[in-house]
Amino acid sequence: MTAFALRVARFGDFLRDHKRALRNLQWVVVAVYAFLLIVPACLPLPTETSHIFNHMTITAQFAFWGIWWPFVLVSMPVMGRAWCGWFCPEGMLAEWASERGLNKPIPKWMRWGGWPFVAFALTTVYGQLVSVYQYPLAVLLVLGGSTIGAMLVGFWAGREKRVWCRYLCPVNGVFGLLSKLAPWRFKVQEDQWRAHHGKVIPINCAPLVPLRHMKGASDCHMCGRCSGHREAITLVARSPEEEVVKIAKGSGWETALIVFGLMGLAVGAFLWSASPWLVAVKQSIATWLIDRDILWPLDDSAPWWLLTHYPQVNDSFSWLDGAMIISFIAVTTVVVGGALYLALWLADRALPGRNALSLHKLAQGFIPAAGCGVFLGLSATTITLIKHEGLGTDWANPLRFTLLTCALLWSLRLVWRMTGQRSPSAPRRLSAMLLLAVGVSPFVASWLLLFVIW
Ligand code: SF4
């Protein structure tokens, strides 16, 4: 073992030996989280003249959507799911509730493989309908509701486990995908596991990772509790491409999350509010409705927890607004995600060695591009808030497109390596690559529309 490998492994042991310190740190994060969640919801809404430094609501908005979420996302490919295991208030509270709970078996419906996609999609769309990035009551409902849900599930099912995180958390799937790019992971050496005959101390892996068969970083929360277990589990550094290219098999639900969730639905959620097309279509539908005296779709008095309703700042959605947002997101999902899926389908057929999972394996290559897209969308709020503070943001677009280009090139490189596993023929590999480059172009065009054209 090299000195560097030894240092990495020792850090795993350090985490294992400081479980209590991690828990204390998590309580501090819980206190900050609760403060940012609850206090702004009790204050009057900010006005045009409010700023980060003089209005708690904008401070909290900047903290949650400007820093917290975008950089938690970035932390996944940088550090694996360390956020989940070291800081996440929701995961910690879920485990804390489970330590005091009923220890019931985990119901079968909760283990359904589609939850990471469905929970992400529902939360994203609902967040847009209630304007979660703008209003503290909506934040309290969406984030606070999720935390209460995590604690109730923790109290009900599993023994000292993070059942919510493992099966139902709306960002579990996203974090699982991005952490496949992490430069380290806890690795199991199966031969040492079998050969170990000493005393075995049982490990409580809160996110329910099957330790012996753990192959990647996707499900592991990096808590370090299993470090050194049976002298077979060690924290190791690795190539950020190793898991995607060599280990990950992919699955239908993961492909759905990458292609239709992160690169389709999420893009629609970030784009709709800037789209002049949506405004034009909405106006023609409204005119058509008024001409026929059908006025109820224009009523904007739905409660704030269903559709954005803040008449005091002239911001209320009508039923038509709600329907238009959902439709815009759905159309973007079909157009942007559909184009990439079709390209994956064709590229898969252009290569030899096709099987039930080969398309899903290729889709894994798009994890960097998908993650970068969500980061760009989330960080748009960061830039808007910085701009509102009167700071220059001319650097933003060059930085955005540099990041997007790097992420796309990385994705194409990953796919190129995967095509090499299926065919030695350069022309076949290149034709597959060409199809994928065309398939991803609507995704690129979406960001051009948002940041340059609109
Ligand atoms: S596999 Fe489980 S116990 Fe081991 S570090 Fe990951 S989360 Fe912790």
454 CA → ligand 1 middle, Å: 45
| Separation CA 451–CA 454 (nearest Å) | 7
Lowest mean pLDDT among 46-50, 344-348, 357-361: 46-50
Per-residue model confidence (pLDDT) at position 263: 97
Q: How far is the CA of 103 from the centre of ligand 1 (A)?
A: 20
CA-closest residue to ligand 1 atom 1? 220
pLDDT of 1 above 80:
no
Q: Over the stretch 291-318, which tens digit does the pLDDT of each residue have?
A: 999 999 999 989 999 999 999 999 999 9
C-alpha 186 – ligand 1 centre gap (Å) = 7
Instruction: Give the pLDDT confidence score for residue 303 in this predicted structure.
Output: 95
Decide: helix, strand or coil at residue 94: helix
Query: What's the pLDDT at 48?
Result: 79
- Is 417 in contact with 80 (CB distance < 8 Å)? no
Domain boundaries, the chain: 3-178, 246-453
Q: Is 207 in the pocket of ligand 1 (CB under 6 A)?
A: yes
Closest residue to atom 3 of ligand 1, CA basis:
205
Looking at residues 181-207, what average pLDDT do you find? 92
Lowest mean pLDDT among 58-67, 324-333, 424-433: 58-67
pLDDT band at 433 (very low <50, low <70, confident <90, very high): very high
Confidence of residue 200 (pLDDT cuts 50, 70, 90): confident
Mean pLDDT of all residues in 382-393: 85
Work out the pLDDT band at 377, boundaries 50, 70, 90.
very high
The confidence score (pLDDT) of residue 13 equals 96
Mean pLDDT of 13-20: 96
Res 385: pLDDT: 84
Atom number in ligand 1 closest to CA 222 = 5
Q: What is the mean pLDDT of the chain?
A: 94
Choose among 197, 298, 331, 276: nearest CA to 453.
Answer: 276
Average pLDDT rounded to a whole number, residues 135-157 = 95
Please name the residue whose Cα sits nearest to atom 8 of ligand 1: 223
What are the residue ranges of helices labelled H in 18-139?
19-38, 56-61, 69-79, 82, 89-99, 115-129, 136-139
Is-above-0.75 flag for pTM?
yes
pLDDT tens, position by position, 256-268: 999 999 999 999 9
Tell me, what's the pLDDT at 117? 96
The whole-number average pLDDT for the span 339-349 is 97
Predicted pLDDT at 52 = 83
- Model pLDDT, residue 61: 86
Q: Does the CB atom of residue 165 touch ligand 1 within 6 A? A: no
Contact 182/217 with Cβ under 8 angstroms?
yes
From the CA of 201, how far away is ligand 1's center (Å)?
A: 14
Distance CA 127, CA 121 (A): 10
